[in-house]
Structure 1
């Protein structure tokens, strides 16, 4: 159910938004994110400040809205994991939590992850119509909200349900194949994220080692007037400069790897989990339909009519969910391929064009990035 205070849908223009998360500032134990948005059909720009709990509220509103046909068949854009309050131990966290890949470097990547979440929500033809989206982007103060649950189902209930229903045979080969594919790809994607993170961490370690070596060479240069010592000192100074350049390049390589393919892999990993949740919701509804059919067959004559109504309602809801799910799966795979291709192009361009000049991919504005991508002869 929608929270009280959200206005009716009929007053909204459902055109898309240009959304940017421009900054993050620590406020005590929480972080506040600055969000600037502008509706495509309007010239008015909105600026609001949101905490992570506000993103959770928005996500909860999307998951629990009423009156949307086939809602449980939607693959909801995955919300990034809640960040920690300190960056000092981010590397240790990334080794333990795949979903925190974006936290290796700084808050710029996390702001980008939240921004991508809002892009996905506002680009979705169904979710963008939710009044909570417009309140989140436009209103300085959100409606009074209570503590929201972490997801559609209570975690304990969901764990029990998964044990009982996750291997339930599907009646539709399309969805059974998708479930099997999702199970396989989820494992492979998480493994790919872990291996890619190991590569990035190695690049960062090499950069640190080069920095230490460069500093040691520089500090070890003596002041002796002996010609041989002078020549050796000059050589050490030159080598120190070379190592410092190598250090900077490895830092940029690591940064660009995270900003391109790393970001896409992490997002894809979360999307795999989101699709799994959607397929599980549909499986639960399938079990409900089969249970209704069984109860109808065993019902006594005076209960037949009631059981028939329950069966029809279950069948209708299941058909609506399945119809929405097929559209969502096709859309998801189409967009996944496009996003992965773009990430590979960005990775290739960042590696070949910018590392040598110590210029990071994110230092370029979006129009320049898109121009390089569109003119890339390798991928287009």
Structure 2
């Protein structure tokens, strides 16, 4: 879209951005995105597909005239979902993790909602005209493909893995790279382990459902002993059904709170890793330019020195932006993960209280059966 890289003030409230609905047509998911305008009480509702989200991300990447762009930690856009695939398939779970679970793509919608809110809350990215257009224009922007830009050309350099081990000239960034490598790995493992827990809880809930149903097959009214046994089976079926609902609720809590938090944390760690790698690539380019300048002949030295000066200026801008981004990243990520953890504890505590009371009722009912 022409002029999509121009800066503008975001016309909607960041906190009001919500994905309120999703419709599915074959492999196509369409998301209803609502927000509230700042200059009045009017609300806005637009409909976007994943291609539109991808257009927005590419538009943010392609702001080539923005100083220090490559030092920005871009909010990570979740991978594209393919609704025709079963959510239990290994490929889909590997691709989307927690976002493939839940009913009616609720977790996936929440992740996209977080993405939009993080972009809108970013002090630089929120000024992109592309974001404002995405949120308020009724026409789908995805039909007008964004430029790949210098960002993607640098991303292709990921193939040169040797650059990842290149020693940094700044201890701040070298330490951050080392820390990011460890935290990114741990975040990924923690996310995968919790995903295993949630899937196990779902399987246990399913097994309890089958067991509860099977107990009804034992009901027999032929004689007094059979009637007594049938009562026990029915009561046990009720108890197993309660256990089933407990597993479902606990799994749902894990998914909607800590699961989404760990998924977001893991993807953000990868986003920081990509930023640090882009800066490392620029560092290597600068070092190459310096070497070429030193080797340059007298008649070309002036041109090479000017080129080196420009490269140094660009690298310093990227490093300056990157330091600010890292400080903001650590502060915001701690707060976000803390909120997810608090929500997780509150939901699981409420669930525990709810089912403890229900189990007490079932226990009392069993005592009454044997006292009669």
Which structure is higher in helix share?
A: 2
**Match for residue 338 of structure 2 among 338, 341, 350:** 341
Cα distance in structure 2, aligned partners of 1:333 and 1:287: 26
1:66-97 CA-to-partner distances (Å, cap 9, x unmatched) read 32221111000000111112363445345433
Cα distance in structure 2, aligned partners of 1:112 and 1:258: 11
Residue 348 of structure 1: how far off its partner (Å):
1.1
Question: How many equivalent residue pairs?
Answer: 352
Cα distance in structure 1, aligned partners of 2:219 and 2:88: 36
Would you say the 8 A contact 2:76–2:267 is kept in 1?
yes
Cα distance in structure 2, aligned partners of 1:215 and 1:324: 60
Aligned in 2, Cα 1:147/1:63: closer, same or farther, shift over 3 Å?
Answer: closer
Equivalent in the alignment of 2:319: 322
Cα distance in structure 2, aligned partners of 1:218 and 1:151: 65
Residue 142 of structure 1: how far off its partner (Å):
3.8
Residue 265 of structure 1: how far off its partner (Å):
0.5
Equivalent in the alignment of 2:214: 216
How do residues 53-72 of structure 1 correspond to structure 2 at under 5 angstroms?
53-72=51-70
Equivalent in the alignment of 2:194: 196
Would you say the 8 A contact 2:70–2:279 is kept in 1?
yes
Cα distance in structure 2, aligned partners of 1:84 and 1:153: 24
Would you say the 8 A contact 1:16–1:123 is kept in 2?
no
1:337-366 CA-to-partner distances (Å, cap 9, x unmatched) read 1122212211111111135437xxxxxxxx
Residue 149 of structure 1: how far off its partner (Å):
5.4
Aligned in 2, Cα 1:156/1:175: closer, same or farther, shift over 3 Å?
Answer: closer
Cα distance in structure 2, aligned partners of 1:15 and 1:311: 42
Aligned in 2, Cα 1:293/1:126: closer, same or farther, shift over 3 Å?
Answer: same
Would you say the 8 A contact 1:19–1:36 is kept in 2?
yes
Equivalent in the alignment of 1:362: none
1:179 paired with 2:162, answer no
TM-score w.r.t. length of structure 1: 0.87
Would you say the 8 A contact 2:62–2:150 is kept in 1?
no
**Match for residue 141 of structure 1 among 139, 142, 145:** 139
RMSD: 2.2
Would you say the 8 A contact 2:61–2:149 is kept in 1?
no
Equivalent in the alignment of 2:310: 313
Unaligned stretches of 5+ in structure 2?
356-372
How do residues 229-244 of structure 1 correspond to structure 2 at under 5 angstroms?
229-244=226-241
TM-score w.r.t. length of structure 2: 0.89
Aligned in 2, Cα 1:147/1:72: closer, same or farther, shift over 3 Å?
Answer: closer
1:160 paired with 2:155, answer no
1:149-182 CA-to-partner distances (Å, cap 9, x unmatched) read 5993359942433x23111110000100111111
Would you say the 8 A contact 1:256–1:350 is kept in 2?
yes
Aligned in 2, Cα 1:35/1:84: closer, same or farther, shift over 3 Å?
Answer: same
Equivalent in the alignment of 2:252: 255
Residue 219 of structure 1: how far off its partner (Å):
2.6
Q: Which protein has the larger Cα radius of gyration, Structure 1 or Structure 2?
A: 2
Unaligned stretches of 5+ in structure 1?
359-380
Would you say the 8 A contact 1:93–1:100 is kept in 2?
no
1:132-158 CA-to-partner distances (Å, cap 9, x unmatched) read 000000001145513765993359942
1:205-248 CA-to-partner distances (Å, cap 9, x unmatched) read 11011111000002321122x22111110011001001111101
Equivalent in the alignment of 1:275: 272
Would you say the 8 A contact 2:62–2:151 is kept in 1?
yes
Equivalent in the alignment of 2:365: none
In structure 2, the residue corresponding to 1:35 is in which secondary structure? strand
